[in-house]
Every structure is written in structure tokens, then in C-alpha cells.
Amino acid sequence: MQTKRFQMFPWLVLINVCAGCAEPTTATRQSEPPTARILEQDTVATDVELKKLAANLPSSCNAAPDPKQAQYIIGYGSLMQDQSRQRSVPNAATAYPVMVKGYRRGWLAKGPGVGFDTTYLGTVPDQDGRFNAVLYHVSPDDIPAMDKREFFYCRLAVEPTGYTLLKPGTPTPQGQVWIYANKPDSVATANELHPIVQSYVDIFVSGCLEQEQRYALENFAEQCLATTSHWSTAWVNDRLYPRRPYIYQPKAGQIDKLLQEQLPDYFRKIHLESAN
């Protein structure tokens, strides 16, 4: 299996991608836009290898927070969206954009259910990894609620060198910063039984769009897609009444436009959830 390398945005890390897809023809390459295509990660990063990365987690999983220090969480999936984040921590209204270093984000978190389930965004230690996310303040009393929500992840401490604030003037966190990383037994890439689902993609991308618009961050949402690995054609559109999705997902048009531009090879293969 050959690995395809594409030219990403100049400010991004080059991502190796593609699994189970044919080598494009010269005509296809010439027709691709300069921003290129984000395809599925090559078999270089198999589930087994991802589990090995996840096994590098420190032993201090879900350490007790210091009640005397301010507490902060780095959110990189559904926690990027205001509404989703506040379902667990109602006071977590304000979040700031950050660039996380030393971790890889991807569709690599196996849902905890038995049988049919969903693949979620997760992260594993990777010294060359980086992705954009949000950082928000919580109280020490909020940590148990967050641990309950993210029960199949491991909450790890993040040193100040592990992230960079993306918006000038953002207050520097003074306290403990945490991120939820995958445990080895929760690592698995998407398949037909555990697909990527559009409702979760909507929450993730709408959170990225919120940050982009709130802080006037050019291409922040595109960067969310480009710094996320393991996209898959095992992708189900489970929106309610998808012919009029804006009733249930106000940002549906923006999300679909972004996905179509940045992930065309996957976008055109998304299939509707069947009632059968």
C-alpha cells in the first residue's frame, strides 16, 4: 500500500493519508486544488499501532485535581461546541482557541456500547502530533462530572509547553490543565459497525466554526479537519430529516460546504441512515 502525501495548508503539519484507495491518475492529480485532499490515514497507522501509542499514557490517569488551583480542560471534539460543553459544565461558557502539541487527534475512539455503536474523536500521545482545540475553565468540583462524561478516556495533565494560545490577549491559564486521551482498549478506527456519524461531525465542526467566527480566526475550521486523522468512508448521515437539516442543525449548510471542499472523496460517499 503506497502512502500519498499531499500539500496541506502552509501552517499545518503534513499529514500522511489514505487507506484502501487507488492511486490517482495524473489527470486526477492535476485537477485537484492546491489545498489537496484529506484522505484516510494509511495502514502505517493501524489500530495496533494506535494502541501502542495509547499505551504510552502516563500512569497518573484521572489524578485528583489540586483544589487550591484553578482547573482547565482542553476540548478537541464535541467539547469545542458551546452547547455540548455546557451540558456537562453549565458555567463553561467561555473557551479559548489553542494549538495542542504532542498528541494526535483522529477518528480512533471506539464507542463503549455493545454491538452497533459510533466511532468518536480521540487522541493518543504522538511527539509529532498537533491540532487546534479549545481551552476552558472549570472548578475542581466540575472535574468528576467531566470524568463521568469522558469515562472511556484518561484525563492527563498538560504542561504549559504542551499547548499554545492562538488569540493574542487571551489570559494565560494559572493552574492545572487537563486533556482526555484514549485508553488502549478504547482505540479503534471506524468501520461499518462503528461508523463516523454526521450528528457528531456536526457538533465538532460547528464548535470549530464558533471559534473561527468568535475570534476572527481565519481557516480555523479548515484546520480542525486538516489536523484530524483517520477519516473513513464508514460515515453515516444520521441527521433528522436530512433534506431540511437546517431545522435541526442551523450550521448544516456551512458544515456541508466545508466538508465538501476539504473532504470531497468522503463527502460524496456519506450514506443516509436507514430505517431498516
Task: Give the model confidence (pLDDT) of 223-238 as tens digits.
Answer: 999 999 999 999 998 8
Q: 32 in a domain, yes or no?
A: no
Q: Number of folded domains in the chain?
A: 1
User: What confidence score (pLDDT) does residue 273 get?
Assistant: 66
3-state secondary structure of 145: helix
Share of the chain above pLDDT 70, in %: 76
Task: Report pLDDT for 151.
Answer: 86
**Considering the domain boundaries, does residue 228 fall inside one?**
no
Residue 104 lies in a domain: yes
Q: Residue 217: what pLDDT? A: 96
Q: pLDDT value at position 76? A: 97
Kindly indicate the confidence band of residue 30, based on its pLDDT and cuts at 50, 70 and 90. very low
Q: Which of 45-59, 88-102, 246-260 has the highest mean pLDDT?
A: 88-102
Record the pTM. 0.74
Strand partners, 177: 72
Highest-scoring range by mean pLDDT, 16-30, 52-66, 215-229 = 215-229
Q: What is the DSSP letter of 71?
A: E
**Which pLDDT score is estimated for 250?**
75
| For residue 190, pLDDT beyond 80 | yes
The verdict on residue 274 lying in a domain is no
What is the rounded CA–CA span in Å between residue 4 and residue 49?
A: 19
What pLDDT does 20 receive?
A: 36
**CATH classification at residue 115:** 3.10.490.10
249 part of a folded domain: no
Residue 92: other Cβ atoms inside 10 A: 22
pLDDT given for residue 153 in this prediction: 92
At 89 the pLDDT is 85
Residue 143 forms part of a structural domain: yes
| Cα angle 163, 48, 159; round to 5 | 15
Please check whether residue 112 lies inside any domain of the structure: yes
Query: Where in the sequence is the domain holding 151, given as residue range(s)?
Result: 52-186
Q: Does residue 67 register a pLDDT over 60?
A: yes
Confidence at residue 115, expressed as pLDDT on a 0 to 100 scale: 55
Contacts of residue 71, Cβ cutoff 8 Å, sequence gap at least 6: 65, 137, 138, 139, 140, 142, 143, 175, 176, 178
Q: What is the mean pLDDT of the chain?
A: 80
**Is 40 a residue whose pLDDT tops 60?**
no
